Chain A
């Protein structure tokens, strides 16, 4: 007998009482959606900028290797997407469009089509996600409603920069992935 069969038949041999699968009610949030979203991102150690603030920041900073896949800032890229993700090791900045953001926790949803290569938002030294204010939802429940039955091979909720508190519980931003997250709300 294969292990698959062994495991499944072991389970079949156990008398299990039926238990219903509950329906999930509509939960919302108390506060105003945009303000709550901004608070959540700040709490996760990210920043929220307006388009003008972002443009000022970008001109003042220096990012030799930059990939922008945002439709709002499409001509900013200084390099094109390579075939081999390893070549992105020294990527300074990635600018991506997020599909929607969740107010209660700041999580922003991105899929393969938004990323180009899956490694982009993780390997970039700094990450900018552009989000339309219209695309904010209250909680994760509405978030999954939006995802629906989408079939992207990969999708991710990003809620802040890479962080760790593994040394004596002191929070350090920039563990392995992006050292900063800026969300541009337009």
Chain B
């Protein structure tokens, strides 16, 4: 299904859609407020962006340095060209340890590699341990947001799910009660797992260490109880120096949820005595993206989710409408690089308002890349180009609800967005043409009123 078709599915439950929109805006607002308490905020963003530019320009040497240092620290390093190879490496490690059940903490990379279904097919019980991820896993859904995996669900649905799966009281929707039930359920899993898997937020070339950030402490509960820790890391997660973490940890949580830092920021350098520590370095399309001059900047992403929280389309269409592991503005520039055909509608799921680029802590020019992808997609489809844009338009016009909403959405946005946002110098959309006077009524509304 195309993005517009999926979006109109999401918009069917209007109360839910409104809650989703407002809640994410609230998170965005928290981010704004906390960023204003740091006078050097823009300096930090510039530094983060420059450090990541330097990383991308020297990715090969940094990866080799990282590998060498990690090996010295007693870590076992693996390299995977793609998701399939990554999954096989994980399975091999599990087999070697005769392990039937693993615990996992939030790793978008393993979602990208479709690790869970692969392991399940091979008889391994996989338990996601981040509360939001466990909830969506029990529902057989993917996460709908990279930082807030269950943001598309209401507590009533979670209460029902937990009643069925964890035998909580029927009708008890108290988040504290439900969280406590999950705590007990997952404690069992932590205690029983021989192997624990985590993602990686940052890997440090200079020291060979890597950092994992959580608020729940689930990554640490898993890995410190297990005999073996497997860390899955995209090759772009490298930072040159340990002190660069100062910049990135200051930016990450503030951008993500508006909190000053995540409550647990764990630095893994070498395995505990008698334990094993593995790092799998995964390419899966990243070197291909690095070779695309116009799009390589997307590899600077630190997965904070800020661009999703601020995006008027994401907030009003939900994460599932994108049909890609990473949804929202950044997902719409990463996904076409992986499969242009499948994700060809995503770069069009944007108003190009530029708000994503404005909040991005590493200053990725997201909205400009979205625009570039539109050109690429139209070019790649050649003669099909016209057909494609017709089809995109058809996706909207075929579903009257989405048409209605996207129209009234824009009229509202134009009215409520501050001029500073619309006329921001980075905003190619605002710059390249005068904004039309937004009509108070759509043609449809006008027609409704006037036809009699």
On whether the beta carbons of B220 and A178 are closer than 8 Å, the reply is: no
Number of interface residues of A (CB under 8 A): 73
From 134 to 165 in chain B, residues with beta carbon under 8 angstroms from any chain A beta carbon are 135, 148-151, 153-155, 158
Q: In the assembled complex, which residues on chain A have CB atoms less than 8 Å from the CB atom of B235? A: 7
On whether the beta carbons of B187 and A19 are closer than 8 Å, the reply is: no
Query: Chain A: which residue is nearest B244 at the CB level?
Result: A24
Q: Among A3, A19, A89, A151, which residue has its beta carbon within 8 angstroms of that of B80?
A: A3
Q: In the assembled complex, which residues on chain A have CB atoms less than 8 Å from the CB atom of B135? A: 166-167
User: CA A7 – CA B135 in complex, angstroms?
Assistant: 36
On whether the beta carbons of A167 and B175 are closer than 8 Å, the reply is: yes
Contact with B along A128-148 (1 / 0, CB 8 A): 000000000001110111010
Q: In the assembled complex, which residues on chain A have CB atoms less than 8 Å from the CB atom of B215? A: 162-164, 175
**A105 close to chain B: CB less than 8 A:** yes
A156 → chain B closest CB, angstroms: 5
From 1 to 53 in chain A, residues with beta carbon under 8 angstroms from any chain B beta carbon are 2-4, 6-8, 10-14, 16-22, 24-25, 27, 30, 40, 43-44
B99 → chain A closest CB, angstroms: 16
Contact with A along B188-217 (1 / 0, CB 8 A): 001100000000000000010000000111
On whether the beta carbons of A140 and B250 are closer than 8 Å, the reply is: yes
User: CA A32 – CA B150 in complex, angstroms?
Assistant: 39
Query: Chain B: which residue is nearest A160 at the CB level?
Result: B263
User: CA A157 – CA B220 in complex, angstroms?
Assistant: 12
Binds B, one of A58-66, A73-81, A92-100, A116-124: A116-124
Residue of B85, B129, B190, B215 most packed against chain A (CB within 10 A): B215
Instruction: Please judge, given known A-B contacts A163-B215, A177-B221, whether A172 and B268 are in contact too, CB under 8 Å.
Output: no
B261 → chain A closest CB, angstroms: 4
Contact with B along A160-186 (1 / 0, CB 8 A): 111111111110101111100000000
Chief secondary structure at chain B's binding surface: helix
User: CA A166 – CA B248 in complex, angstroms?
Assistant: 23
Interface size class of B (residues with CB under 8 A): 35 or more
**B180 close to chain A: CB less than 8 A:** yes
Contact with A along B263-299 (1 / 0, CB 8 A): 1111111111000000001010001001100000000
On whether the beta carbons of B224 and A8 are closer than 8 Å, the reply is: no
**A67 close to chain B: CB less than 8 A:** no
User: CA A107 – CA B254 in complex, angstroms?
Assistant: 14
Query: Chain A: which residue is nearest B242 at the CB level?
Result: A144
On whether the beta carbons of A174 and B179 are closer than 8 Å, the reply is: yes
**B59 close to chain A: CB less than 8 A:** yes
User: CA A7 – CA B44 in complex, angstroms?
Assistant: 31
On whether the beta carbons of A166 and B131 are closer than 8 Å, the reply is: yes
On whether the beta carbons of B243 and A141 are closer than 8 Å, the reply is: yes
User: CA A180 – CA B269 in complex, angstroms?
Assistant: 27
From 52 to 106 in chain B, residues with beta carbon under 8 angstroms from any chain A beta carbon are 53-54, 56-60, 63-64, 73, 79-81, 85
On whether the beta carbons of B242 and A147 are closer than 8 Å, the reply is: yes
A102 → chain B closest CB, angstroms: 8
Query: Chain A: which residue is nearest B135 at the CB level?
Result: A166
B159 → chain A closest CB, angstroms: 9
User: CA A25 – CA B40 in complex, angstroms?
Assistant: 10
Q: Among A22, A86, A154, A156, which residue has its beta carbon within 8 angstroms of that of B50?
A: A22
Q: In the assembled complex, which residues on chain B have CB atoms less than 8 Å from the CB atom of A164? A: 131-132, 179, 215-216
User: CA A86 – CA B241 in complex, angstroms?
Assistant: 35
User: CA A59 – CA B278 in complex, angstroms?
Assistant: 44
**A153 close to chain B: CB less than 8 A:** yes
Q: Among A85, A147, A166, which residue has its beta carbon within 8 angstroms of that of B225?
A: A85
User: CA A168 – CA B149 in complex, angstroms?
Assistant: 11
Instruction: Please judge, given known A-B contacts A3-B85, A7-B79, A153-B270, whether A143 and B217 are in contact too, CB under 8 Å.
Output: no
**B262 close to chain A: CB less than 8 A:** yes
On whether the beta carbons of B130 and A166 are closer than 8 Å, the reply is: yes
Residue of B57, B64, B135 most packed against chain A (CB within 10 A): B57
Q: In the assembled complex, which residues on chain A have CB atoms less than 8 Å from the CB atom of B148? A: 165-166, 169
Q: List 18 A-B contacts (CB under 8 A).
A: A8-B60, A10-B291, A19-B53, A19-B56, A22-B50, A24-B247, A89-B187, A105-B260, A106-B261, A140-B249, A140-B261, A149-B207, A154-B272, A165-B148, A167-B135, A167-B178, A174-B179, A175-B216
Q: Footprint of A on B, CB under 8 Å?
A: 23, 26-27, 39-40, 43-44, 47, 50-51, 53-54, 56-60, 63-64, 73, 79-81, 85, 129-132, 135, 148-151, 153-155, 158, 175-176, 178-180, 182-183, 186-187, 190-191, 207, 215-218, 220-221, 224-225, 235, 240-247, 249-250, 257, 259-272, 281, 283, 287, 290-291
Known: A169-B26, A170-B175, A175-B217. 6 other contacts (CB 8 A): A8-B63, A22-B51, A102-B261, A153-B271, A154-B272, A176-B190
- What are the nearest 10 A-B pairs in CB distance? A177-B217, A166-B132, A105-B260, A119-B224, A175-B216, A105-B261, A153-B270, A4-B79, A167-B175, A157-B265
